[in-house]
Chain A
Amino acid sequence: MEMKRIFSTRRLVFLSILVALGAVLHVVEGMFPIPLPLPGVKLGLANIVTLFAICLYGLRGGVAVATARVLLGSLIGGIFLSPGFLLALSGAILSTLVMAWLFKHTSCFSVIGISMAGAVTHNMGQLLAASLILRSSAVFYYLPVLLLAAIPTGLITGYILRSLLDRLEKTGQLRIMKME
């Protein structure tokens, strides 16, 4: 029986590179001290990679990269299946879905805006998971801090992605990466 491939080999290769990048970012951003007593709450830098995947390969690509990089990153960081892992996964999935929807269905936001939205929903997803794990709504106490942090981090990742996309477009790499 012939199985239809979701991704071509070429895409698979590029996606894998993105996953590796994302995993590294996932681990690196885990080393940033966050002033909150919640394990695994992160800045969401790895969103760059997820959004990148969405820009090139749509929702499927985004979800694939997001899940894979959380899994890989957690295995590397040694927090696989810990509460921190669940938080990261919730944040990543939620933000991927939101960013993908925004990317496809809205035209008023640039990559920067979508990145900010991604950062916000990433944090919200983490808080949501934390509140379920701890069975306490007290975690939402940190919502304002995370929201405020999401603006600059979203901006940063957005700008980084924007300039990355521009460069790749200029050199023609982007077209190659988008190919089947």
Chain B
Amino acid sequence: MTRGDKFLAAAILLTAILAIAFPRLHSSLFPVATSSARAVIKAQGKIVREVVLSDSGGRSTLVVNGRAGPSTIEVEGKRIRMKEANCPDKICVRQGWIEKPGDSIACIPGEIIVRIEGAAPLDAVTR
């Protein structure tokens, strides 16, 4: 093995570690086209709610319990935002509305993540 080889091996290893640590990098590099989307809401690592985002969705609010207490998420048709949160700096609230797939709102003290994903295929059809 030459020095170059060892360097290459180390570089690959490093990239792999980075890829594990920052998985969101790829979703912003490869945005996916959708016809209708849904928002996945995760609190403390677990998916707690999935909300369908569509033009005919209307307005609704829901409460999610994060590490810092309850937070209110508001959905208006295709958009979603963090309306109120129990965190000190409220960066997540100031972010406002998101609506494109891949966009996300994160409340770090509350460990809440709201992320918009693309449409997925159906599991079954009732008839």
Contact = CB atoms under 8 A, between A and B. Distances in A.
A137 B1 CA distance: 35
A116 B30 contact: no
Interface in B12-41: 12-13, 15-17, 19-20, 23, 26-27, 29-33
A83 to B, nearest CB: 15
Contacts of B23: 141
A151 B4 contact: no
B56 interface: no
A106 interface: yes
Contact of A143 (B8, B19, B118): B19
Chain B interface, >50% SS class: helix
Interface in A122-153: 131, 135-137, 140-141, 143-145, 147-148, 150-151
Given A109-B5, A143-B19, A151 B13 contact: yes
Given A131-B30, A137-B29, A148 B13 contact: yes
B4 A140 contact: no
Contacts of B33: 135
Nearest to A136: B32
Nearest to B25: A140
A109 B30 contact: no
Among A106, A120, A137, A141, the one with the most B-chain Cβ atoms within 10 Å of its Cβ is A137
A117 interface: yes
A131 B33 CA distance: 13
Contact of A110 (B2, B19, B26): B2
Interface in A100-125: 106, 108-110, 112-113, 116-117, 120
Interface of A: 106, 108-110, 112-113, 116-117, 120, 131, 135-137, 140-141, 143-145, 147-148, 150-151, 154-155, 158
Interface of B: 1-5, 8-9, 12-13, 15-17, 19-20, 23, 26-27, 29-33, 118
Nearest 5 A/B pairs, CB to CB: A108-B4, A113-B5, A137-B30, A147-B16, A140-B26
5 contacts: A109-B2, A112-B2, A116-B9, A147-B19, A151-B13
